[in-house]
Amino acid sequence: MKLKDKKISYVCGIFPSKKVQNIENPYFDEKTKNKIIRLSGIKERYVLDRDANETMMSLYKKAGLQTIEKLGWKKEEIKGVIVVSQNHEYKFPSTAVLLQDELGLSKDCFAYDVVMGCSGYVYGLFCAMSHLSENCDKILLFVGDPINDFVYPKNQSIAFLFSDAASCTALEYAPGFEADFIFETDGSGRNAIIVPHGGSAYPMCEDSFKEYEDEDGNINIKSCMEMKGLEIFIFCYKNVSRVILNILKENALKIDNINDFFFHQANYYLLNQIKKLLKIKDESFPINIKAYGNTSCASIAILLAEEKSYQKSNVIMAGFGVGLSIGVVFFNKLDFKSELLFA
């Protein structure tokens, strides 16, 4: 699906104010914690400071206002707001509607939420860019997740992995810029990453908060995330590289023709295995999961935010995971400014 005349103009990534050290997790002994930290490379993570009433809205608002100021956009010129997350401020109304008011944007703009996880940034770009035109020329895309709200601290497989994070991406109509998207979905793998209770299928009840032991010996509760790591690894390893090669073939390109690959920061070992499989050069494949952990749908935006100033042709972004879902986009060129904030 090729979209023409669509440009990323600015990316602002933001982490919450609270930093936690994995070695301080009280539910595991020192030997276990040191082993997990050594294998994952993740020593510290960022989580919303609930004691200080920090929310995703506060992060979105700060990133949004910063983006508007840096670009010099007039608020009344912004035509739309899209929020991509697995978890929104309320069941309803939508977070995007709240942001229209919090940012002081014109009432003559559209606003809606999208529920997506690991592939969410690519999906968000596709949604936003699909709206862009000469008459709808400025859109703000917010992508983020308070993922630790759904991580049980006694679950050894995931308690040391995730950071909460948010981002704001400014997109505008710009002739000459093109994006080619490709998606794959396999809902039969829905149970590989899932929060079983809390939706309309299984509303919260007393059993939602009872501890149980899964088949791998992890302690968890049904109102928190269940993750089958091996299933996800196999799915991503088998399919992400194939989708990448498909989009390259469609554009008559090879791996060496791509200047940079920005991948969802799922797992350090998985990322390196895919990089090795595709024979991607280290300098073309940024990895920051050891610095921040897995930031869910915001991870690609966080990678872009670290660039500060970026101007290159032939770039690929890829999100993959929960769903099971894959989203890949090829850009003929990118030209944007960016920054990474800490609340």
Domain that holds residue 184: 1-343
User: HSE (CB half, 13 Å, CA atoms) of 290?
Assistant: 11
Confidence (pLDDT) at 10: 98
Predicted local confidence at residue 148, as pLDDT: 97
Residue 331 pLDDT: 98
**pLDDT per residue rounded down to tens, the chain (343 residues):** 999 999 999 999 999 999 999 999 999 999 999 999 999 999 999 999 999 999 999 999 999 999 999 999 999 999 999 999 999 999 999 999 999 999 999 999 999 999 999 999 999 999 999 999 999 999 999 999 999 999 999 999 999 999 999 999 999 999 999 999 999 999 999 999 999 999 999 999 999 999 999 999 999 999 999 999 999 999 999 999 999 999 999 999 999 999 999 999 999 999 999 999 999 999 999 999 999 999 999 999 999 999 999 999 999 999 999 999 999 999 999 999 999 999 9
Residue found by looking up tokens 């039969």 in the block: 188
The model carries a pTM of 0.97
Provide the mean pLDDT of the chain.
Answer: 97
Q: Could you give the number of structural domains in the chain?
A: 1
Q: How many CB atoms lie within 10 A of CB 261?
A: 22
Beta carbons within 10 angstroms of residue 30's beta carbon: 8
- Rounded to 5°, the CA angle 316-141-125 comes to 30
Residues 6+ apart with CB under 8 A from 192: 227, 228, 231, 232, 235, 322, 324
Closest CA to 25 of 37, 9, 13, 14: 37
Q: What is the CATH number of the domain that holds 213?
A: 3.40.47.10
- Say if residues 67 and 168 touch (Cβ distance below 8 Å): yes
Distance in angstroms (rounded) separating the CA atoms of residues 237 and 45: 25
Catalogue the long-range contacts made by 93-102 (C-beta closer than 8 Å, 24 or more residues apart).
95/56, 95/57, 95/60, 95/142, 96/142, 98/57, 99/57, 99/60, 99/61, 99/64, 99/140, 99/142, 102/57, 102/60, 102/61, 102/64
Residue 265's pLDDT is 98
For residue 264, the model assigns a pLDDT of 98
How far apart CA 20 and CA 163 sit, in angstroms, is 9
pLDDT of res. 16: 98
